[in-house]
Amino acid sequence: MKNIKKRSWAEPYKMKMVELLKMTTKPQRIKAIKDAGYNTFLLPSEDVYIDLLTDSGTNSMSDRQWGVFMTGDEAYAGSKSYYILEEAIKKYYGYKYVVPTHQGRAAENILSQILIKKGDIVPGNMYFTTTRLHQELAGGTFVDVIIDEAHDPLNEHPFKGNIDIGKLDKLVKKHGAKKIPYVCLATNVNMAGGQPVSMANLKELRAYTKKHGIRIIHDMTRVAENAYFIQQREKGYDKKSIREIVKEICSYTDGATMSAKKDALVNIGGFMAINDWDVFEEARNLVVVYEGLHTYGGLAGRDMEAIAVGIAESLDDNHQRARVGQVEYLGQKMIEYNIPIVKPIGGHGIFVDAKAFLPHLTQDQFPAQTLAAELYIDSGVRTMERGIVSAGRKPNGENYYPKLELVRFTIPRRVYTQAHMDVIAESAAAVYDKRKSIKGLKMVYEPKYLRFFQARFQKL
Ligand code: PLI
C-alpha cells in the first residue's frame, strides 16, 4: 500500500437493473452515420453502443427517485409535489420563489422575455446555445465576458469559468448599466469544457454588480459539479461540504434558470427561481401561456418530486467525488494516449480539441463534426460537436467562428462503468492513429435555429 499515493474513486451505489445494448458491426455503423447526414444527433439511439452525446436527461435515477414516481401528486392545481420541489429549492439553493418548467430552455425563454428589452446587452461567461438564442429572441445581444484563458484549450487555469470583471466594466462604461438587465453567470461552464467559476470571482462579481445595480442570473445547470471543484481547488473550502458551497454560490446571485436534467439527476425537468417578487409574478403569468399551471409548469407531479430527491442526492460529497472521478479517469486515459483534450479535465465530460486532432482540416470543413462521425464508425461511441456548427450564425447571418472547436465526450451520471471508459479511450486512440487519412465534411442542409441538432453533411 505504501506506493499508492491517491485512493481510487468508486461509486456510492450498486446496480439493481441494467439496460441491454445492441452491438453493431462497422459496416452497419458506416451506413447508419451516412443515413444520419454525418450528424450524431440524427442517429437512432438503438444503433449507439456508448452514448456520450449529452449528460442531459440521460442520468440513472436512484431507487428513491423511482420510489416517488409512485407517490407523486398528479393534481392539476396545487400539487403536493410542487410544494416538495419548492421546499427543496429553498432549502438547498436558498432562492425564494420557484416556477417549474419542462426543462431549462423553457425557464430561459420566460426569464429572457421578462428581463430583456430590445437593444439590451447581456454579458455572460461564454455562450450556451439555447440561452443565447432566447436572449437574442427577446431583443438582447449576448457579449462574452469570460476570462481569455477559457478560449485556450491548453491553459490550465483552475477556474476557467471566471468572469473578467475588466471586460464587464468596459461594457458597463460603453452602454451604461441601464442597458444591462443582468449578468448571465453559468456555473461549471459547459462550452468551455465543464470549467468552474471560483467563489472569489463570484464575490467580486457580486460586489461589482451591486455597485451598478445589475442583477446576476445564475445558470445553475451544473452548480454541484462547480462546487466540487471549489472544494478541491479553492483556498478555504476544503473542509466545506458541497451542500454548503452550493448554497453560498447561490447566495451571491438574484435568481436562476436550471435544467434539472443534468446535476439534479432526472430525465426531464427544470425551473426558474428568483428572489424578486415582481419578476416571480410575471413569470407565473407567462408560465401558464407556455408550460402549464404555475404549480406544475409542464411537469408531472412525479417528475417534480424526483427532482427534489435528485437535488439532495447531487449535493452528496461521495456522489460528486465518484461523478467527477469517473470523468477524470477517462481524461487521464486520453492523455496517456496523447489525445489533445481541454485542460484541466472538466466536470461533465472530456472535450477533445478537434483543431489539434485534425490540423489538416480548416474550420469550414467541420473538424469536430467529422471527428464525432469517425468515432461513431470506429466503435459505436456517440459524441457531440461543440464547435462551428454549434456556434451557429449571428443575427446578421454571418457564421460565428468560435476559437474552440471541440468534440464533447459527455458522461451521463451513474450510467457507465470504468470498463466503458476504457473502451471509449481506446476508440479515441484508434481514430487518432489514422487521423491523417480522415477527410472533412460539407454542410448540405442547415436549419434556421440551433442548426447543430438537425444539420446534414456529406463527406468531402
Ligand atoms: O436542455 P435544457 O433545455 O433542459 O437546458 C438548456 C441548457 C441550459 N444551460 C446549460 C449550461 C446547458 O448545458 C443546457 C442544456 N445542455 C444540453 C442539452 C447539453 O447537452 O449540454
Tens digit of each residue's pLDDT (9 = 90 or more) over 448-459: 999 999 999 999
User: What is the predicted pLDDT for the residue at 2?
Assistant: 67
* 287 phi-psi bin (left φ>0, alpha ψ -120 to 50, beta other): alpha
pLDDT at 340 over 70: yes
Taking the C-alpha atoms of residue 289 and residue 45, their distance in angstroms, rounded to an integer, is 32
Distance (Å) from CA 7 to ligand 1 centroid: 33
DSSP state of 195: B
Given the residues 38, 128, 296, 409, select the one marked as catalytic.
Answer: 128
Strand 349-353 to 215-219 pairing: unpaired
User: What is the predicted pLDDT for the residue at 253?
Assistant: 98
Q: Which domains does the chain have, with CATH numbers?
A: 26-55+317-453 (3.90.1150.10), 63-314 (3.40.640.10)
| CA of 105, closest atom in ligand 1 | 3
C-alpha cell of residue 320: 460528486
Given the residues 47, 55, 219, 303, select the one marked as catalytic.
Answer: 219
pLDDT at 278 over 90: yes
Distance (Å) from CA 438 to ligand 1 centroid: 30
Q: Among 41, 53, 56, name the best residue to mutate to test ligand 1's pocket (greatest count of ligand atoms within 8 A of Cβ).
A: 56
Mean pLDDT (the chain) is: 97
pLDDT-derived band at 291, boundaries 50, 70, 90: very high
| CA of 348, closest atom in ligand 1 | 21
User: What is the predicted pLDDT for the residue at 308?
Assistant: 98
Taking the C-alpha atoms of residue 405 and residue 156, their distance in angstroms, rounded to an integer, is 18
Please answer whether residues 307 and 85 qualify as being in contact, where contact means their C-beta atoms are separated by less than 8 angstroms.
yes
Q: What is the mean pLDDT of residues 39-53?
A: 98
Distance (Å) from CA 258 to ligand 1 centroid: 9
Give the chain's length. Answer: 460
User: What is the predicted pLDDT for the residue at 193?
Assistant: 93
Query: Among this protein's residues, is 76 annotated catalytic?
Result: yes
Please answer whether residues 172 and 321 qualify as being in contact, where contact means their C-beta atoms are separated by less than 8 angstroms.
no
- Counting Cβ atoms within 10 Å, is residue 70 exposed (0-12), middle (13-18) or buried (19+)? exposed
- Residue 272's alpha-carbon distances to 4, 26, 116, 444, in angstroms, are 45, 44, 15, 37
Q: Which residues does ligand 1 sit against, CB inside 6 Å?
A: 54, 56, 103-105, 128, 130-131, 186, 190, 219, 221, 259, 261, 270
Query: Among this protein's residues, is 219 annotated catalytic?
Result: yes
pLDDT at 1 over 80: no
Taking the C-alpha atoms of residue 397 and residue 283, their distance in angstroms, rounded to an integer, is 31
Nearest residue (by CA) to ligand 1, atom 17, is 56
User: What is the predicted pLDDT for the residue at 310?
Assistant: 98
- Residue 426's alpha-carbon distances to 170, 331, 334, in angstroms, are 46, 12, 8
Order of strands across the sheet that contains 182-186: 97-101, 270-274, 255-259, 215-219, 182-186, 121-124, 141-144
Taking the C-alpha atoms of residue 382 and residue 369, their distance in angstroms, rounded to an integer, is 11
Query: Among this protein's residues, is 262 annotated catalytic?
Result: yes
C-alpha cell of residue 434: 489514422
| CA of 103, closest atom in ligand 1 | 4
Taking the C-alpha atoms of residue 213 and residue 254, their distance in angstroms, rounded to an integer, is 11
H helical segments located in 216-366 = 223-233, 242-251, 277-290, 301-314, 317-336, 354-357
pLDDT at 287 over 70: yes
Please answer whether residues 165 and 209 qualify as being in contact, where contact means their C-beta atoms are separated by less than 8 angstroms.
no
Taking the C-alpha atoms of residue 267 and residue 230, their distance in angstroms, rounded to an integer, is 26
User: What is the predicted pLDDT for the residue at 446?
Assistant: 97
- Residue 363's alpha-carbon distances to 318, 384, 400, in angstroms, are 40, 16, 11
Distance (Å) from CA 104 to ligand 1 centroid: 6
Q: Among 127, 197, 221, name the best residue to mutate to test ligand 1's pocket (greatest count of ligand atoms within 8 A of Cβ).
A: 221
Query: Among this protein's residues, is 386 annotated catalytic?
Result: yes
Taking the C-alpha atoms of residue 183 and residue 120, their distance in angstroms, rounded to an integer, is 11
Given the residues 132, 261, 262, 413, select the one marked as catalytic.
Answer: 262
User: What is the predicted pLDDT for the residue at 3?
Assistant: 72
pLDDT at 5 over 80: no
Please answer whether residues 423 and 50 qualify as being in contact, where contact means their C-beta atoms are separated by less than 8 angstroms.
yes
pLDDT tens, 120-158?
999 999 999 999 999 999 999 999 999 999 999 999 999
Distance (Å) from CA 53 to ligand 1 centroid: 12
Distance (Å) from CA 164 to ligand 1 centroid: 23
pLDDT tens, 227-273?
999 999 999 999 999 999 999 999 999 999 999 999 999 999 999 99
Please answer whether residues 321 and 413 qualify as being in contact, where contact means their C-beta atoms are separated by less than 8 angstroms.
no
Question: Chain centroid to CA 394: how far?
Answer: 22
C-alpha cell of residue 406: 471541440
Distance (Å) from CA 56 to ligand 1 centroid: 7
Taking the C-alpha atoms of residue 200 and residue 162, their distance in angstroms, rounded to an integer, is 9
Q: Among 109, 225, 226, 262, name the best residue to mutate to test ligand 1's pocket (greatest count of ligand atoms within 8 A of Cβ).
A: 262
Please answer whether residues 374 and 358 qualify as being in contact, where contact means their C-beta atoms are separated by less than 8 angstroms.
no
CA-based nearest residue to 249, from 281, 277, 223, 284: 223
CB count, 10 Å around CB of 175? 16
Q: What is the mean pLDDT of residues 67-80?
A: 97
